[in-house]
Structure 1
Amino acid sequence: MTPHDLDLATAQLDPPFAAVDLAAFEANAADLVRRANGKPLRLVSKSVRCRALLERVLAGTGFHGLMCYSLREALWHAELGTSQDIVVAYPSVDRGALRELAAREPARESITIMIDSPAHLDLIDAALGRDHPRIRVCLELDASWRPLPALSGLHVGTRRSPVFRPRQAAELAENVLSRKGFSLVGLMAYEGQIAGLQDRIGTRFRDGLVTWMQRRSAAELAERRAEAVRAVRALTELEFVNGGGSGSVESTAAEPAVTEIAAGSALLGPALFDGYSRFRPRQAALFALPVVRRPNRRIATLFAGGYHASGAAGASRLPVPALPGGLSLSSVEGAGEVQTPVTGAAARGLRLGDRVWLRHAKAGELAERFTEYQLIRGDRVEEVVPTYRGEGKAFG
């Protein structure tokens, strides 16, 4: 979409506001399906955080079910009928939400919660009582890479499950199966060091090292994940084995042991997805800020804009000026709570009231800043839809 189309479609709106280019969004969804090569995709809700967009994706082909990041979020979607196949990707210690899950039979049939320790089962028993209804659970296998397994401190990837070895997965599965009130239905492993790490953003040496690590890690994980699945399936049948993320769709899809792939961020094409060699999503989500000051000829100051992404603090977590081209953030101020200066050749031509379009570093977190998205097709707004925030929902 051109700056002209964006500005024409939203001419009657006063920024700040956020927009989604539907053509880019749909193209990104189709590309994820292509990359999955026939394996179903489970839609990661935290990467979108807008129910209307989630429903658009689930209504298409190639996607089935949701992966939520909060049990309360999953309960909300189950009640509204967004999906009847929901996996909660992170363990929950929310006793009120667990009691609500146990009390609602349709929700119990739709929602699977994550565990990685007998302590999670103990907590559920304590919250619900020993004779609670049957709860669907998924076992999480740690997918990080340990180049020297004997040195557990050498860890490449996200810090998630303590279950690393296939034997540990089998032991936890045996513990689940020995208890009343639980059904083990799935196994999950998220390879963050592959799915969430760009391999084309630095020096040739840095990028080469990342590429080497990701290849070695993918090969190790494919073997270990398959062995863990065999070990658990020797004890009980599994409905699904979930893996991957938007950045590792190809390698995860190639694993016979994996039955579905989690993905979502690539739908909106955030700035942190600009540095992958394997794919390049289109820029689908942007937000507009107005020029409110001209401190000098070289600088235009925008209203607000301090929409930093989660993760380790650094420049990669800042929003990125997108349109007009040739703008950059000030290295001194960055993106601020009340103002964001931009510099560059294009700044000289900006006037008070002009718009600058920016992209968030991450996908779903933009929805935490705006109550609605303008869904744009061509040069018109096709629909205005609420984000989670616009529906009065905040799940942490």
Structure 2
Amino acid sequence: MTVGHITRILSALLIISTIFFAGCSQSPPPTESVDPVIEQPEGERFIKLSDSEADTVIQTLTIGKQGMQSWMDFAPALERSALYVSKKPQSKLALNKYGLKVTWKTLAAAIKRMQLLLPKLDANPELLAKNFTFYRLDADPQFTGYYEPALQASLTKKPGYAYPLYAKPSDLQVLNLGDIHPRWKGQRAIYRIDSGKAVPYYDRNAIDLKGALGSRGLEIAWAKDPLDIFFLQIQGSGRLLLEDGSTTHILYDGKNGRPYVSLGGVMLRKGLLPKDGVSMQAIRKYFDDNPEDTYKLLGTNPSYVFFRLSDSGPYGAMGQTLTPRVSLATDPSFIPLGSMFLFDVPMPEKDEKGAFKYGDNMKGLGLAQDTGGAIKKHHLDLFSGYGEDATWIAGHMNADGAVWLLLPK
């Protein structure tokens, strides 16, 4: 691609108001110190706990609610975080927020210390307070949930399986804007070329209603229900339940760059859902009762996700498999990928009639191992796993909780 071609593409991108720019906060220049540096600005901040305050947090941990029988059960998930953090530039800052500056070397040291402590924590959980400084995120973090959905599907089109799942198209282009000018470092433009000009990639309506990707051989599977595909795109990965009883993983492989619009929010504003009943289950019931509204409502979210098939999964943003009730998606500029924290959040449960309620809190060890387009600032997304219970929990979780970042003393 010539310089002139790149310039024309960039100029076109900048004047198209609907183009999607995906950016992230940039790390500041490298620092010589590997120890956390904390200041205390006014307002939202990380608050350093005293040892006695940390002990109080530890006394109420409930790792059993995370499906863990022992602290040693965290070892595989910790090893995945350790692999990711070890490959980062150790002297550079992983976190620089609210006066707290932490290098990748410090995060690596935190994980290593936790790995060494695991065999002792069942008998002596107080070792956490002796070995780690707790920094509470003073912002009432919001917790939602996501899961690994299952779809009835076929690898070939046949009666009953009419809705395609697409591989990433070859004409979907991604331009790293930092290659053009340093002021755009970390930002990307997603587009296609039409008659020599850069234009936004096809939106949901163009793909699902107008067949923009038809006859290109991009179909990797066919599903029974278009709403299943929509929910799969929101979750990012899942499993296909094939007719012969076998399963295969289907994983995120790119998106069209269009902005994400919440279907639940649209339905709420239209009065199609009760204000206190916005959940995945309520959305599905509405579509079951009103199938004629399917594409009209799904089309309000122009974002579209492409997939690939795999023998394993699901994978998070670190490129590592996720652990149910341990892995969380975070905004890396507030809680970096690979970091460890304790968290406390009320868990969705069913009452004696099967209705939703919030039950006892789950308080345990969380690992930042994923990201998400809707996960910004103090919003965390808990991976609940696979199966009916995981689906139900993810569909109902939306509550404020607490987070304590763990850094080595």
Structure-2-length-normalised TM-score:
0.21
Question: Whose relative contact order is higher, 1 or 2, with alpha carbons under 8 Å and at least 6 apart?
Answer: 2
